[in-house]
Amino acid sequence: MNTDIHDSKKNMSGPDADNKMSRRKALKYIGTGAGVVAVGGATGFYGYRRSLRISSSDAAKLRNVRFVVAGGSIGGITVAARLLRAVPNANVTIIEPKSIHHYQPGYTLVAAGVYKKEDVLFDQESLFLSGMRWVKDYVAAFEPEKNRVKTGSGDYVEYDYLVVGLGVEVNPASVEGFSEAIETPHAATIYNLESGMKYREMAKSFQGGNAVFTYPAGFVKCGGAPQKITWLSEDLWRSNGKRDGMDVHFFTNHTSLFPAVPKVDAAVTPLIEARGIQNHYRSDLRAIDVSTRTAIFEDQMPDGSTREVRQKYDLLHPVPRFRTPKPLREGPLTAEGIGGQLQVDRETLQHRRYSNIFGVGDCAATGAPKTAATIRKQAPVVAENLISLALDREPASLYDGTSGCPLLTRYGRCMMFEFDFKGNLVNEWLYQSTRETRLWWDFKVHGLKQLYRHVMMNGYV
Ligand SMILES: Cc1cc2nc3c(=O)[nH]c(=O)nc-3n(C[C@H](O)[C@H](O)[C@H](O)COP(=O)(O)OP(=O)(O)OC[C@H]3O[C@@H](n4cnc5c(N)ncnc54)[C@H](O)[C@@H]3O)c2cc1C
């Protein structure tokens, strides 16, 4: 880790900003956070759902029910914590192979020089509430007919109810030459922490030429992240005086910059175009030719045909397609046509064929954005439905499709918004969703990690 860049600057809105806050600054941010929580709480924007309260006789019935959670990240841990808040002696087991947890929503800020590497790492064990049992292994296979999973070491973990929160991963093989390119000095991606740190150095030292950013087809983990790193990089080059000597290209498979939310799309597009960033739509990265530093795209034409487009690069931020982990995409819990995701009802989050299995987070085929903001709304639904089912009641809690996004448009500025399944803004007036504000930048940098780690992961959501 390069520590030098964190000791010299004082402003956390800029690249490589000092992460150590003065007391005065800390008080300012606490004040900002308190203000946001107070306003949000008063209006209900935060959408806080208090822990389930169940009777002691119901709790006693649940004490011997075996809840198993596959995947101990933000989805799995938040559901497990909600279960334990409702049933303090619940039998909750989490299967998770990693010792270090990564706060992935912070990756963009690491690559942008705002966070240090250690700001996004947590000791996995510290995430477990007392009472959670940890199987430090990976799921090798799901065996839903036998109500058990097989682990990497060959053991079986049996369950009465299973929650699947395995997330999604990049699929390097989806872009020919990606793995080779990412090892060169000219390409890096924020979808990997080490590569994101390399990107930060690449961006800082970039002197000019073609900077090329891409956005893949299919489902994408945090659909705003490829745009955010493009826009922050352009802002960095503008502020360090290098912008005139370069062309900044954003190639996306979409038909516009942020099609999931039309109002945000309409607000942000002119701002980005005014900055001279060249957006290329319906363009899918298929290959990278490292020897000539060329990114090769397949463009969809209006008549349905395709054509190959070649773009030379001096700096490349490629994002390949995503896939679910192997035991999910090649196992019995997925279905045709959903790209290896977990087959769930998008409202109850219950598996469509196995009623004692639920999904949470990125791996579930809900059509919702693959973000931690989505999980904040899904986890309480899963926990409530699990408890209902275990008490022989209907799973009546429904996920309404709400998600959120802190769209970092430049250093010190962020558009914050929540939206529903139809792409309508939620609480637009409160967020001032289509405005770039300093307040939401500060909240992204200082507040959201606390929300993730101390509110969600402790089951308070
Ligand atoms: C660059 C970037 C920027 C992002 N920005 C934001 C943002 O601004 N806001 C936001 O809300 N979200 C953001 N996200 C998205 C957010 O990080 C994810 O949506 C979230 O982490 C998904 O949580 P999850 O629990 O579903 O899966 P993950 O966090 O991906 O975790 C999956 C877990 O399953 C485990 N696992 C995998 N395979 C197995 C197996 N076979 N057996 C057992 N365990 C297994 C993994 O070790 C991991 O711990 C960003 C992500 C990235 C990469």
Instruction: Give the mutation target among 119, 151, 371 for probing the ligand 1 site: most ligand atoms within 8 A of CB.
Output: 371
Q: Which of 402, 426, 449 is the last residue of a domain?
A: 402
Closest CA to 68 of 97, 91, 47: 91
Whether residues 163 and 197 share a domain: the answer is no
List the beta bridge partners of residue 296. 287, 310
- Over residues 352-372, the pLDDT tens digits come to 999 999 999 999 999 999 999
Whether residues 281 and 350 share a domain: the answer is no
pLDDT band at 173 (very low <50, low <70, confident <90, very high): very high
% of the chain beyond a pLDDT of 90: 87
Whether residues 160 and 207 share a domain: the answer is no
pLDDT band at 29 (very low <50, low <70, confident <90, very high): low
pTM value?
A: 0.93
Is there a contact between 197 and 284 (Cβ–Cβ < 8 Å)? no
* Residue 36 within a domain: no
* Residue 449 within a domain: no
* Residue 409 within a domain: no
Q: Which of 289, 322, 355 is the last residue of a domain?
A: 322
* Residue 356 within a domain: yes
Whether residues 193 and 90 share a domain: the answer is no
Rounded to the nearest whole angstrom, what is the distance from the C-alpha of residue 120 to the centroid of ligand 1?
Answer: 12
Q: What pLDDT, on a 0 to 100 scale, did the predictor assign at position 52? A: 74
Whether residues 251 and 136 share a domain: the answer is no
pLDDT band at 415 (very low <50, low <70, confident <90, very high): very high
* Residue 310 within a domain: yes
Protein residue with its CA nearest to atom 15 in ligand 1: 371
Whether residues 262 and 384 share a domain: the answer is no
DSSP string, 339-366: TT-B-B-TTT-BBSS-TTEEE-GGGB-S
Q: Which domain holds residue 62?
A: 56-101+122-167+344-402
CATH label of the domain that carries residue 142: 3.50.50.60
Whether residues 348 and 228 share a domain: the answer is no
Whether residues 194 and 265 share a domain: the answer is yes
- Over residues 226-257, the pLDDT tens digits come to 999 999 999 999 999 999 999 999 999 999 99
Whether residues 75 and 204 share a domain: the answer is no
- Over residues 67-109, the pLDDT tens digits come to 999 999 999 999 999 999 999 889 999 999 999 999 999 999 9
Is there a contact between 55 and 152 (Cβ–Cβ < 8 Å)? no
Residue 225: CB within 6 Å of ligand 1? Answer: yes
- How many structural domains comprise the chain? 2
Whether residues 184 and 274 share a domain: the answer is yes
* Residue 447 within a domain: no
- Over residues 388-412, the pLDDT tens digits come to 999 999 999 999 999 999 999 999 9
Residue 368: CB within 6 Å of ligand 1? Answer: no
* Residue 42 within a domain: no
Whether residues 225 and 315 share a domain: the answer is yes
Report whether pLDDT(162) > 80. yes
Whether residues 161 and 248 share a domain: the answer is no
Residue 221: CB within 6 Å of ligand 1? Answer: yes
Q: Cα(63)–Cα(126) distance, rounded to whole angstroms?
A: 24
* Residue 427 within a domain: no
Residue 373: CB within 6 Å of ligand 1? Answer: yes
The tokens for 317 are 């931020």
Residue 226: CB within 6 Å of ligand 1? Answer: no
User: How do strand 413-419 and strand 357-359 relate by DSSP bridges?
Assistant: unpaired
Q: Which of 364, 380, 402 is the last residue of a domain?
A: 402
